[in-house]
Amino acid sequence: MGYPPALDAYRTRVEEALARVTSGCGGPAGLVAAMEWSLLAGGKRLRPVMLLATRDLFPPGGLDPMPAACALELIHTYSLIHDDLPALDNDDFRRGRPSCHKRFGEAAALLAGDALLTDAFRLVGDAWRGSDDPAGLAVVAEIAGAAGSAGMVGGQVLDTIGTGRALTADELHAVHRGKTGAMIRAAVRCGAILGHAQDDELAALTSAAERLGLAFQVVDDVLDVTASAGQLGKTPGKDREQGKTTFASLLGVDGAGRYARELSDGAIDDLRRFGPAADPLRDLADFFVTRNA
């Protein structure tokens, strides 16, 4: 299944906003080039799209959600740049072309990642400066909490330490709750917070997001076994080569596929109370488990 048409309009708006972010950042040309190489290389833009689609479950008004949506993509992009560095995964290709450090060198890639991460917070700070809507600081807390030591970076550390020996299912869940789950959870929660969701609405959406984040990673593990380099835009088979425990190695390819479907169905269940307004998120839940790249 291809990218859900209901989400294409969101993705287009995100692409336009992202292109403005780096061209207006005020950094040196060499830095901006490295940032743009990775930020404007396409991609599914899942996190920003999820934030915007969740925001639209609630009445309009309040803070513009687009800066937060872009902030998520800047942070996702920085994490790919740093993960690809020789000190971590040492990946030469990303999204079908040379990774940032292969193209610009290690120093520039390291700094481009640092700049994207930092500029993510400048984006929301600048856009919302002067506002007294408490959602602003709550979103800063959500995004930074999801990306930092107890979230994405923490998951990356667990993953790095775990490489080379078998993980238990619990340990594997902990890795992915951090590495990919935290930012997908934050995307949905930020959309809800910006929409001034009630506590029970926020809880239902958080549950959906946690299931979707896990489903996404389970499918990633399956695709690392079944997909081609052309489909992925990166080198497949690296997990097995590195002796990594994955959902595919723990459950088998078929078992992992069933697990992903179960998680996605659970997420669709969580969305029931939101009626037809949540159709784009339901399409996304389908896409998460039927995608082939």
- Give the DSSP letter of residue 273: G
Interacting residues toward its own copies by CB under 8 A = 25-28, 30-32, 35, 78, 82, 85, 87-88, 105-108, 110-111, 113-115, 117-126, 128-134, 136-145, 147-150, 153-154, 156-158, 160-161
Q: Which residues pair with 97 in a beta bridge?
A: 94
Is the CB of 93 or the CB of 121 nearer to its own copies? 121
Distance CA 223, CA 238 (A): 11
Reported as type and span, the H/E element at residue 92 is none
Pairing state of beta strands 93-94 and 97-98? antiparallel
The distance of closest approach from Cβ of residue 80 to its own copies in the complex, given in angstroms and rounded to an integer, is: 12
Q: Determine the residue type at 245.
A: T
Is the CB of 145 or the CB of 266 nearer to its own copies? 145
The distance of closest approach from Cβ of residue 202 to its own copies in the complex, given in angstroms and rounded to an integer, is: 14
Is the CB of 34 or the CB of 278 nearer to its own copies? 34
The distance of closest approach from Cβ of residue 53 to its own copies in the complex, given in angstroms and rounded to an integer, is: 23
Output the CA–CA distances (angstroms, integers) from residue 252 to 103, 162, 242, 246, 249, in the order listed: 36, 20, 17, 9, 5
Reported as type and span, the H/E element at residue 52 is helix 46-55
The distance of closest approach from Cβ of residue 66 to its own copies in the complex, given in angstroms and rounded to an integer, is: 16
Is the CB of 141 or the CB of 203 nearer to its own copies? 141
Structure tokens at 212: 């979707």
Is the CB of 120 or the CB of 184 nearer to its own copies? 120
The distance of closest approach from Cβ of residue 117 to its own copies in the complex, given in angstroms and rounded to an integer, is: 6
